[in-house]
Structure 1
Amino acid sequence: MTMTWAGFWALIGTLDGEAGEAGCLRLAEELSELPVHDIEGFAERLAEALYRLDQEKFGTLPVADLTLRDGAPFPQSADSFLYARCAVVAAGRSVWESVFFDVDRFAPYTASTCDGESLLYVPDRAYELATGKEWERSTRHSCETFSNRDGWSHLGA
């Protein structure tokens, strides 16, 4: 993997802080111009960034703009937590780094209007654009919720 963290964050910076469909397509197109090993490296960095955010202190935050009928906090689902983590990554390096020191910085990204799902598909789109083939890939780290066992006290290491 030759994609450095600096290179990864520079590419993420092209999103201007949001993982909207148009921005993610633009990022995939830019990434597709790089060698395939850089596309793979981007996928590895993205998976690791999401994996590091897969922690109980973030995943148990309620959805920022929803409540249950009785007024109780609305919990994040496994999918909505994954998409919130994507939104944090799309917001850029400074936001991503800051949430580890202040969990409240993560909270706005749980809002139902804040969806980073499109970021997940950037490496696949870039690979397909670059090679004309569908990418059947796996990364060293899983981005799925609860995959970072160290981040969830009830799961144990």
Structure 2
Amino acid sequence: MTWADFWALTATLNGRATEANCHRLAKRLSRRPLPDITAFAEHHAEALYRLDQEQFGSLPVIGMTTETGGPFPQSGDSFLYARCAVVAAGRQTWENALADPAEFAPYTSLDYDGERLLYIPDEAYELATGKEWHRGTRYCYESFSNKEGWPHLRT
């Protein structure tokens, strides 16, 4: 599977990682050969990993403030879900966000929740095989795992 194939499949989401959109994508993916499901998972993890950078993770949550009125920081989970929302929005949005943190910022809003995107490869595999998928990917998409993106966290 090429990046073009990955983004073409992601376009099934119509820009949002809703339950219905994600299920539709998982069904479409489940009809493809198992190596495509694995390749989709790899591209998916890498796309999230590449967004795992301090310049994005340090942006405040839009529409929220601390008790003192200051910017409300993203948690590790909210940052992951914001990255998922960017990927769900499609290739152009993802590329724009990588080039400019201002393009990423709107996805920190509580109006965007891309969490459901995380489960698409697992759902597709289960639909295709009837079995649960215990998989790993080359890239870890958990927040703060991209050491190059978080220079001060390097050990």
TM-score (norm 1): 0.97
Query: 4+ runs of 1 displaced by more than 6 Å?
Result: none
For the residue of structure 2 that corresponds to 1:100, the secondary structure is helix
Counterpart amino acid of residue 4 in structure 1: T
The reply to whether residue 101 of structure 1 matches residue 92 of structure 2 is no
Once the 2 structures are TM-superposed, how far is the Cα of residue 153 of structure 1 from its aligned partner?
A: 1.5
Q: Structure 1: which 5+ runs fail to align?
A: none
The reply to whether residue 114 of structure 1 matches residue 109 of structure 2 is no
Once the 2 structures are TM-superposed, how far is the Cα of residue 14 of structure 1 from its aligned partner?
A: 0.8
Distance in 1 (CA, whole Å) between partners of 2:27 and 2:122 is 11
Counterpart in the other structure of 2:87: 89
Counterpart in the other structure of 1:66: 64
Counterpart in the other structure of 1:126: 124
Q: How many residues align?
A: 155
Spell out, residue by residue over 1:88-132, the C-alpha distance to the aligned partner (whole angstroms, 9 max, x if none).
000000000011221101000001121000000000000000000
Spell out, residue by residue over 1:68-106, the C-alpha distance to the aligned partner (whole angstroms, 9 max, x if none).
121100000000000000000000000000112211010
Counterpart in the other structure of 1:29: 27
Q: What value does the CA root-mean-square deviation take over the aligned residues?
A: 0.8
Query: If each structure's helix is expressed as a fraction of its own residues, which one has the higher value?
Result: 2
For the residue of structure 1 that corresponds to 2:99, the secondary structure is coil
Moved more, 61-70 or 40-49: 61-70
Counterpart in the other structure of 1:6: 4
Equivalences for 1:43-62 in 2 at 5 Å? 43-62=41-60
Q: Structure 2: which 5+ runs fail to align?
A: none
Once the 2 structures are TM-superposed, how far is the Cα of residue 12 of structure 1 from its aligned partner?
A: 0.4
Match of 1:142 among 134, 140, 143: 140
Match of 2:150 among 133, 149, 152: 152
